[in-house]
Amino acid sequence: MELGARSQGEAAPSVAYPDELRALVEGHLRELRFSSEAGTSGLEEAMRYSLLAGGKRIRPVLALATARAIDFPLDAALPLACALELIHTYSLIHDDLPAMDDDELRRGRPTCHVAFGEDVAILAGDGLYAEAFRHVLSQPGGSAPCTLRAMAELAAATGVGGMVGGQYLDVSGAAATDAAGLRHLHELKTGRLIAASVDCVLLMAGRPEHDRMGYRRFAGELGVLFQIVDDILDVTGTDAALGKPQGSDQRHGKRTYVSEFGLPRARELAAESYAGAGQALQRAAPAGAPELQQITDFIYTRTS
Amino acid sequence: MELGARSQGEAAPSVAYPDELRALVEGHLRELRFSSEAGTSGLEEAMRYSLLAGGKRIRPVLALATARAIDFPLDAALPLACALELIHTYSLIHDDLPAMDDDELRRGRPTCHVAFGEDVAILAGDGLYAEAFRHVLSQPGGSAPCTLRAMAELAAATGVGGMVGGQYLDVSGAAATDAAGLRHLHELKTGRLIAASVDCVLLMAGRPEHDRMGYRRFAGELGVLFQIVDDILDVTGTDAALGKPQGSDQRHGKRTYVSEFGLPRARELAAESYAGAGQALQRAAPAGAPELQQITDFIYTRTS
């Protein structure tokens, strides 16, 4: 298996991806409507503009792959899976705002605030988060107690102890300046939501704590892997593949695995993390979880 | 009963307020902590700065007064009540942002983005919303199915079909330009959350639909009353009482009940709405609901 953040000019390795699950997600996302109130269709347009901009849908596909690994019905996990993508999209919209990262391109298109104005972009993000919760809470996929626990975890993973707290560490520079501080920042900013994509499905399915532990270890390592590769790609990727100008972390003065360790060591760390995730998955799902393994392979080898 | 938006110089009428319930709310809010992760205490500080800026806590007090009216334990309703205030605070923070209303004063103090920067203010709002859901979902006050229904309604009331949709109508000018359009804007922007402050308690308590209908009618009228008085106060209130510069609606070119109907007619509409709310409450709670009546009186006569 080749590391995705390869030398320039090398052909992208072809890695299988759970395209069937991705198609399920894509279809469900396209059908989602948020506005039935007069006058709010412009807000819905901005929300769908960002939501339907493409991408691999890693978080919802991860959720559905988890459901399949534990024999939980896909259609019961689908609203939760799609809620994860709504939340991810909201975080990107707010992250791109002028007062935050001030990015004008995302997935090759103008960012939400460039296309719709800053006020509408703020509200589009706010709206996506609310609609994510509404979507799952109004059609719970598990028993009511299990759905409550899953949604409590989703709220925690996206609150101050998770995604929003990580974004704060990122913009404020309040994270510790050592390697542990960098790891902690990313654990909150991206890791918690990736981990929740696995754990919330187990919670919704009512799996006992000892089952969840193994999957949590896998998901935790997957989050780390995702971030290291992300940092490598920011340096080695092309504008076209990334859908945004390459090198943006550096321009924003962000601390990354590459700035911290240098490119060669970052690649080693990615390889170690990839191996660790595979081993954790093997232990969590001894009978095999081919789609979760595919996602792990994809995250390691992706080029965008 | 005097209308709060009185002629200048007139003494404020003394109206009883459910101060015992307010003290419960205030105590609970002060105890809330959001940050246990290293480095995120600055975010918590911004969140608590805005959350603990005072105010009458109308939404949570309304929730507790509803709980008392239907004999639902106050401590079971308290997390939901406080979540309503977290959400209200989040909406104020985002509303005040430079890209939105660009307000620099709120309750007599610098707004969150003036005090902490725009990036932190965006995240403080995002964080408050997530923590509101986490708070209730992790300590549900009713049975699991009832809590799910209550939280689904809270998400709906604050999403595109509610608060965020109303904020969009406000900033985009997309509401219809007649009186019905103005009413619809406020119904979404402020009315839905005020109504949810009553209805979510009934949902959490598992009250049947026919009980909820009467209370919904009361809460709907209360939302209208709140907004008319708000619009009147923006014209007749003093800077000191309002905690922000008087006349800000006019400066922002906002359509209000006063701009639409003129001050005398807006006062008549407030009086009609006040009478309507009282009648609806009488029908919803024939045995009496003194604290809900007090809140209604207060909303009608308030001076800030």
CB-CB neighbors (< 8 A) of B120 in chain A = 168, 171-172
Determine the distance in angstroms separating the CA of B184 from the nearest CA of chain A, rounded to an integer: 8
Chain B partners of A170 at a C-beta cutoff of 8 Å? Answer: none
**B-chain residues near A147 (CB < 8 A):** 144, 148
* B50 alpha-carbon distance from chain centroid: 15
Euclidean distance between CA atoms B249 and B81, whole angstroms: 29
Q: Which of B42, B158, B175 sits opposite A39 (nearest CB)?
A: B175
Quick one: pLDDT at residue A130? 98
**Which residues from chain B sit within 8 angstroms of residue A36, using beta carbons?**
161
pLDDT above 70 covers a percentage of chain B that reads: 93
Integer CA distances (angstroms), A129 to A37, A159, B34, B53, in order: 18, 11, 18, 25
On whether any CB of chain A is under 8 Å from the CB of B158, the answer is yes
The residue among A10 and B86 whose pLDDT is bigger is B86
* SS3 state at A56: coil
CB of A172 within 8 Å of a chain B CB? The answer is yes
Give one word for A195, left, alpha or beta, with left for phi > 0 and alpha for psi -120 to 50.
alpha
CA-to-CA separations, B262 to A83, A239, A245, B257, B258, in angstroms, rounded: 45, 56, 53, 7, 5
pLDDT at A240 over 80: no
On whether any CB of chain B is under 8 Å from the CB of A45, the answer is: no
Q: Which of A91, A113, A147, A168 to mutate to test the interface with B (most CBs of B within 10 A)?
A: A168
Q: How many CB atoms lie within 10 A of CB A70?
A: 17
Closest in B34, B148, B175 to A140, CB measured: B148
Q: Helix/strand/coil (H, E, C) string of A253-297?
A: CCCCHHHHHCHHHHHHHHHHHHHHHHHHHHHHCCCCCHHHHHHHH
Q: What is the ipTM of this complex?
A: 0.94
Q: Specify the residue for token string 């103090």.
A: B109
Q: Looking at residue A197, what is its pLDDT?
A: 98
Task: Determine the pLDDT at residue B49.
Answer: 98
Q: Give B150: exposed, middle or buried? Use CB within 10 Å, 0-12, 13-18, 19+.
A: buried
How far apart (Å, rounded) are the C-alpha atoms in residues B281 and B288?
8
Spell out the residues 6+ positions from residue A225 whose beta carbon is closer than 8 angstroms to its own.
A270, A273, A274, A277, A296, A299, A300
d(CA A21, CA A63): 10
Residue, of B183 and B155, whose pLDDT is higher: B155
A134-158 pLDDT tens trace: 999 999 889 999 999 999 999 999 9
Say whether residue A119 is in contact with chain B using an 8 A CB cutoff.
yes
For B155, the closest of A130, A147, A161 (CB atoms) is: A130
Q: What is the mean pLDDT of residues A118-123?
A: 98
Cα–Cα distance measured from residue A48 to residue A42, given in angstroms and rounded to the nearest whole number: 10
**A264-283 pLDDT tens trace:** 999 999 999 999 999 999 99
pTM score: 0.94
Q: What are chain B's domains?
A: 19-301 (1.10.600.10)
Looking at residue A102, its pLDDT comes to 93
Q: Is residue B105 exposed (0-12), middle (13-18) or buried (19+ Cβ within 10 Å)?
A: middle
- In B111-252, at which residue ranges do the beta strands (DSSP E only) sit? none
Which residues 6+ apart lie within 8 Å of A22 measured at CB? A56, A57, A61
DSSP-derived 3-state class of residue B109: strand
Instruction: Please return the burial class of B38, using the count of CB atoms within 10 Å of its CB with bins 0-12, 13-18 and 19+.
Output: middle
Query: Chain A residues with CB inside 8 Å of B155's CB?
Result: 130-131, 133-134, 137-138
Q: Which candidate from A129, A143, A160 shows the least CB-CB separation from B34?
A: A160
What digits encode the pLDDT tens for the residues B258-278? Answer: 999 999 999 999 999 999 999
pLDDT at position B214 over 90: yes
B118 close to A (CB below 8 A): yes
User: CB distance from B167 to chain A under 8 Å?
Assistant: yes
Q: How far apart, in Å, are the Cα atoms of B202 and each of A73, B131, B211?
A: 32, 22, 8
Q: What is the pLDDT of residue A148?
A: 96
Q: Which of A57, A77, A26, A92 is nearest to A199 (CA)?
A: A77
**Would the CB atoms of B133 and A155 count as touching at under 8 Å?**
yes
Nearest to B155 among A43, A118, A133 (CB): A133
Name the average pLDDT for chain A. Answer: 92
Under an 8 A CB cutoff, do B138 and A152 touch?
yes
Q: Using the beta-carbon criterion (under 8 Å), do A169 and B143 form an inter-chain contact? A: no
Q: Which of A51, A134, A177 to mutate to test the interface with B (most CBs of B within 10 A)?
A: A134
pLDDT, tens only, A51-98: 999 889 999 999 999 999 999 999 999 999 999 999 999 999 999 999
Note the pLDDT of residue A14.
60
